[in-house]
Structure 1
Amino acid sequence: MEHWLFTKEHEQFRPAVRRWVEKEIAPRVEEWEREGRVPREMYRRAGELGYLGLKFPEAYGGSDDLLADAIFVEEIARCGSGGVAAALTATTGIGATPIWRFGNEEQKRRYLVPAIRGEKIAALGITEPEAGSDVASMRTVARREGDHYVLTGSKMFITGGASADYVCVAAKTDPSAGHQGVSMFIVEAGTPGFSVGRTLKKLGWRASDTAELVLDGVQVPAENLIGEENQGFRYIMINFQWERIMLALSSVAAAEKALEDALRYSRERTQFGRPIGTFQALRHKMVDMAVDIEKARSLTYRALYLCARGEDVTVAASMAKAYAGEMVNRVTDAALQIHGGNGYMMEYPAQRYWRDARIMSIGGGTTQIMYEILTKRLGIV
């Protein structure tokens, strides 16, 4: 369905991405779900097609087109696996983004460019075992020693952490300053003291590896500091806005996929001598699902529109993330219900849609945190 937000060129781009997803991604979803990760060849393939650099400047191999990037996020989310979508969008969507926004030219050439090409996988290391929603309470520290920093601590729930060639890690360079003492560093895989503590087993997003990372006296060159020292918290908050729009876009697309499957099943499944979709209870349920999706899309596209204009999207992104994250849970749950007992079986993808959706109201900022942001921004408190 066309939307005024996108140009004619965007609407021509969308089916091209959709064909690629249907031809090269969807047929291998089950395989990657079992293996627990997306193979590197697919990052390289996405980079070759230009899909990993859509929002970045042309100088670094991108297309300088945020709306095209949004279309890619939507279409990859329709592949039937939230894990596959997370893997292929997180590397440049959130992993390498701090380098683009705040890094120097050398860092962009060395780390951003190969990520856009799909030659390197990037991850973002912020969350810790004792610091989830309360980002400022992180315990990982970075101590300056001559021409390098020594990082000690751990990170938890890191998307792509086990596969990443480098991680943009947040650490406290001034622990006494709270959130004003946070800095960000590029830490390369294989650096002595930097290791994957464990690869985590999850309810959903199984095709995307999620890891606990350990930093045990890791020496990071001073030139790997991103931006300015003690400005990391501000960088994190700025980057959160696009991440939240991405998650909202993914939620809308995933919900659409779930509704499409439910509608198809309701036409094929016969009970009491007729297709179950002819019963008013299910017809109305699917209308409710469609309306819920459109409400989430409207909030999300408004946030996307403002973001493309370079405006402050904190309120719009928080609203979109909060609503879409809850909406996709409602819609996938309803889709599973329409499938009945079959929906509870692993042979049907309805169960995966439901499992994958559960993270959308948690990751990138919980619904409760979104509401706290909004109460302050809207002047309610």
Structure 2
Amino acid sequence: MQAVLSEDQMQFKQVIARFFDTHSTMPAVRRLSETETGFDPVVWSELSETLGLPGTHLPEEYGGHGFGPTELGIILEEMGRTLYCGPFFSSAVMAGYALACFGDEAAKIEKLPQIAAGTTRATLVLDDLNHPSKVGRLIKANQAGVLTGTAPIVLDGGSAQAFLIVAREPAGLGLFELSPTSPGVEITLQESIDMTRKIARLTLQSAPGLRLGSVTEQGLYQFWDLISVALAHEMIGGAARLLNDTVEYTKGRYQFGRPIGSFQALKHRCADLLMSLEFAKAATHHAGFCLAAGEETTIYPSMAKAMAADCFMDMARAAIQLRGGIGFTWEDDTHLWFKRAKCDEVLLGAPYQQRARMMDILQEAQDVA
């Protein structure tokens, strides 16, 4: 298995890059971040209908294109690079993967093509977004599928057209569908430091859900690996953009009659940042290739998420510092990247939680041996 992009994948990456360079400019990001829904429906329709991006990684038999984590990673890196504002991660990635992994055959046949086509913007509701072992503590379902509980953070919860909810049943975990307009559903928009990714609080009070499938413990961990690697791809895309923009800034900012980028201390700092990025990129790409090859329960997804999170945060801090006073201003775009990096750092598990899971996997492997 060769962990490099093929010629077709490189061409695909160029097409995706051109699209987001056109439709996810920084003025557009700022404008959308100040709206309630946080995305442009016209751009969403174009990336869904013209490019077919939401179905890239989903099975062909359910309306997707049948590609894998590598192609999905290409899309997410470009989205991260341009700070794309939209429900792709919540709908296509989290909800799409959840339905593909946990939905029964009838549910996948009926529901998955709509997510793959982008005609239904769904979001996955997990009552804990830090660790799979904690899912199902706050939202319960009785034998009739009636849901009660609270999810403190739901990505794009205010604009979603459907909720896919993982809830605790008497005999385990189940996946349920719920409409935002169903009785017993209360959606409260939440303030987030990351204005580019909208969140909401979901409160359920005897809300009637439609059961779509069962969620096993092992399946939940494997699903967590998929979405963690996807998020890592988005983060390294953002980190790469920050590094590129920061280096360009140091070339054009003059002090003492010369570009500040010519000073040795700044050269070394940028070189260290590049090394951090390359390590995180290698870990993320390797994790994606392992998932594409069908390898299960490895340390690589957690390693990728931890390294990408550390890299993105370090890059955001350095970008502000190397810009000097301008880096702290509202007019400079760097604070938007810093806020995205901070939220992504803890989403799906902070680096220390990812490393703890790596240790658990290694310990289990040692015990078996």
Q: What is the TM-score of this pair, normalised by structure 1?
A: 0.89
> Residue type of the partner of 1:75?
E
Mapping of residues 133-172 of structure 1, within 5 Å? 133=131, 135-136=134-135, 138-145=137-144, 149-172=145-168
Using the TM superposition, name which of 38-47 and 249-258 deviates more. Answer: 38-47
Counterpart in 2 of 1:177? none
> Residue type of the partner of 2:9?
H
1:209 matched to 2:198: yes
Which of 211, 224, 242 is equivalent to 1:225?
211
Counterpart in 2 of 1:113? 113
Shift of 1:46: 1.6
- Take 1:341 and 1:291, find their aligned partners in 2: how far apart are those partners? 26
Mapping of residues 235-250 of structure 1, within 5 Å? 235-250=219-234
Shift of 1:47: 1.1
Shift of 1:288: 0.6
Which of 50, 53, 69 is equivalent to 1:51?
53
- Take 2:130 and 2:151, find their aligned partners in 1: how far apart are those partners? 10
Shift of 1:181: 2.2
Q: How many residues align?
A: 359
Shift of 1:256: 0.5
Instruction: Extract unaligned runs of 5+ from structure 1.
Output: 175-179
Instruction: Extract unaligned runs of 5+ from structure 2.
Output: none
Which of 185, 190, 199 is equivalent to 1:194?
185
- Take 1:298 and 1:160, find their aligned partners in 2: how far apart are those partners? 30
> Residue type of the partner of 1:24?
H
- Take 2:116 and 2:150, find their aligned partners in 1: how far apart are those partners? 27
- Take 2:306 and 2:92, find their aligned partners in 1: how far apart are those partners? 23
Alignment deviations for residues 179-223 of structure 1 (CA, whole Å, 9 cap, x no partner): x72222111221111220x1111111x132201001111112xxx
Alignment deviations for residues 116-158 of structure 1 (CA, whole Å, 9 cap, x no partner): 2111111111125xx854515613211123xxx1111111111
Mapping of residues 57-136 of structure 1, within 5 Å? 57-66=59-68, 67-80=70-83, 84=85, 87-128=87-128, 132-133=130-131, 135-136=134-135
- Which runs of at least 4 in structure 1 moved beyond 4 Å after TM superposition? none
> Residue type of the partner of 2:30?
E
Shift of 1:227: 2.2
- DSSP-derived class of the 1:144 partner: coil
Counterpart in 1 of 2:5? 6
TM-aligned CA distance change 1:72 to 1:95, over 3 Å = same
- Percent identity, aligned pairs only, is 24
Shift of 1:61: 2.8
- Take 2:351 and 2:74, find their aligned partners in 1: how far apart are those partners? 24
Counterpart in 2 of 1:346? 330
Alignment deviations for residues 310-355 of structure 1 (CA, whole Å, 9 cap, x no partner): 1115410011111111111011111111111111111111111111
Shift of 1:269: 0.9
- Take 2:134 and 2:53, find their aligned partners in 1: how far apart are those partners? 30
- Take 1:186 and 1:376, find their aligned partners in 2: how far apart are those partners? 32
Shift of 1:93: 0.5
Using the TM superposition, name which of 287-296 and 26-35 deviates more. Answer: 26-35
- Take 2:222 and 2:73, find their aligned partners in 1: how far apart are those partners? 18
**Does the Cα contact within 8 Å between 1:93 and 1:243 map onto a contact in 2?**
yes
- Take 2:246 and 2:297, find their aligned partners in 1: how far apart are those partners? 34
How large is the Cα RMSD of the aligned pairs? 1.9
Using the TM superposition, name which of 118-127 and 39-48 deviates more. Answer: 39-48
- DSSP-derived class of the 2:163 partner: strand
Shift of 1:12: 0.6
**Does the Cα contact within 8 Å between 1:98 and 1:235 map onto a contact in 2?**
no
> Residue type of the partner of 1:166?
A
Counterpart in 1 of 2:22? 23
Counterpart in 1 of 2:172? 181
- Take 1:315 and 1:35, find their aligned partners in 2: how far apart are those partners? 39
Shift of 1:43: 2.4
Which of 276, 279, 302 is equivalent to 1:292?
276
Which of 338, 341, 351 is equivalent to 1:357?
341
> Residue type of the partner of 2:179?
E
**Does the Cα contact within 8 Å between 1:183 and 1:233 map onto a contact in 2?**
no
Alignment deviations for residues 14-55 of structure 1 (CA, whole Å, 9 cap, x no partner): 110000001122251111111141133332222111111111
> Residue type of the partner of 1:74?
E
- DSSP-derived class of the 1:52 partner: helix
